[in-house]
Amino acid sequence: MSAQRASVESVTAWVSDATMAPSMHNAQPWRFRYMPAVGVLQLRMDRTRSMPRTDSTNRGMHLSCGAALFNLRVAAARAGWSARLTLLPDPEEPALLATVEFTESAEIDKASELYPAIGRRRSSREPFADEPVPDALLGALSGAARSEGANLSVLGEWQVDAVLDLVAEAQQDESVSPEAREELARWTASGAGEADGIPVQAFGPHRYDGRAPVRDFALGRPVPERRSAIFESHPCLAVLATAQDRPQDWLLAGQAMERVLLQAALDGLSTSLNSQALERPELRWLLRDPRSASAAACPQMLLRLGYGPVVPSTPRRAVSDVLDVEG
């Protein structure tokens, strides 16, 4: 007797949860295709949503799609199904990032416990309180990254100073680059559509004091009624890294990143992502901690953690725009 296939309705619901993942500038660079006859879901990166200036290698697109894959795993697990991933299954088609086969499972996957956080997770550009995050929570987040084959290193004070210098340098370069400004404009405010990009209300306040590395999506453009605020003076920062730096490692890093973000949301933490320094190769490698193990050799994302206000979600495209069903 053949194994039962996941229904189109179930896969559609799981893909809907997958699209709640974070992506660079909320570009949502994923495209899914489900083949019910064989029970296989394909994930491709949508190259029409690439960013040649800030993501020339498509590393960021892989991270985003990896995060979507993790949400998919969590959603399927909650419904009693196991999602078996095959990453980069076809060397002749690099845009095909993964295939997913679903099987019903009687075993309880602990990842299913993260499901409530999928709709709760936000990227916050608001000030966080200068309240330290307990070591126990930070340790659990590091464990979450390790369970996905990545490393999360919480930065000490001297490391924070060095990283903030790198982020400031990257932001300065971005502010004077016409290409970078044009690309950013495509995905923010005036350039973004109603279902993607960073809307004005998600820019967060202008920082006039504090040291948190929060990207300024206004980039000098006037934003009516935008307020100013003091951000935390001692930000809690962590670097997510992998042992190697291949496309499959980027997909693994994306899954680890989302596992950390969902766990943080369940723990009551606010989070934001900053990729500015990682968008330039010469700055990205300076984020490495020479004292860290080889598992942290390749930095993939800078995370900011803390306690902040609840912020609204950013828009998402309709599932019908990102999922095709064969047959």
Q: What is the pLDDT of residues 107-166, one digit of tens each?
A: 878 899 999 999 999 999 999 999 999 999 999 999 999 999 999 999 999 899 999 999
d(CA 55, CA 53): 6
Per-residue pLDDT at 2 exceeds 60: no
Q: What is the pLDDT of residues 13-32, one digit of tens each?
A: 999 999 999 999 999 999 99
**What's residue 194's pLDDT?**
81
Per-residue pLDDT at 106 exceeds 80: no
Choose between 192 and 277: higher pLDDT.
277
Per-residue pLDDT at 90 exceeds 70: yes
CB 141, CB 260: distance < 8 Å: yes
**What's residue 181's pLDDT?**
87
d(CA 122, CA 272): 8
- pLDDT class for 190, splitting at 50, 70, 90? low
Q: What is the pLDDT of residues 304-314, one digit of tens each?
A: 999 999 999 99
**What's residue 192's pLDDT?**
64
∠ Cα 95 100 102 (to 5°): 165
pTM over 0.85: yes
Average pLDDT over residues 305-324: 96
The per-residue DSSP string of 147-187 comes to TTT-EEEEPPHHHHHHHHHHHHHHHHHHHT-HHHHHHHHHT
Choose between 79 and 108: higher pLDDT.
79
Across the chain, mean pLDDT equals 92
Residue with structure tokens 């194994």? 3
∠ Cα 238 243 249 (to 5°): 90
Residue among 231, 232, 206 at smallest CA distance from 218: 206
d(CA 146, CA 140): 10
CB 124, CB 236: distance < 8 Å: no
d(CA 77, CA 65): 18
Q: Parallel, antiparallel, or unpaired for β 206-209 and 228-230? A: parallel
- Edge-to-edge strands of the sheet including 30-35? 81-87, 96-104, 40-45, 30-35, 323-325
Return the minimum-mean-pLDDT range out of 16-25, 248-257, 263-272, 281-290: 281-290
135-146 helix and 247-266 helix, angle to the nearest 10 degrees: 150
The encoded tokens of residue 19 equal 């699209």
264: part of which helix (H) or strand (E)? helix 247-266
**What's residue 1's pLDDT?**
37
The per-residue DSSP string of 4-34 comes to PPPPHHHHHHHHHHHTTS--GGG---EEEEE
| Highest mean pLDDT (candidates 56-65, 105-114, 179-188, 191-200) | 56-65
**What's residue 290's pLDDT?**
61
Average pLDDT over residues 98-104: 96
Contacts for 84 with CB less than 8 Å, ≥ 6 apart: 100, 101, 102, 103
Per-residue pLDDT at 303 exceeds 50: yes
Contacts for 280 with CB less than 8 Å, ≥ 6 apart: 170, 173
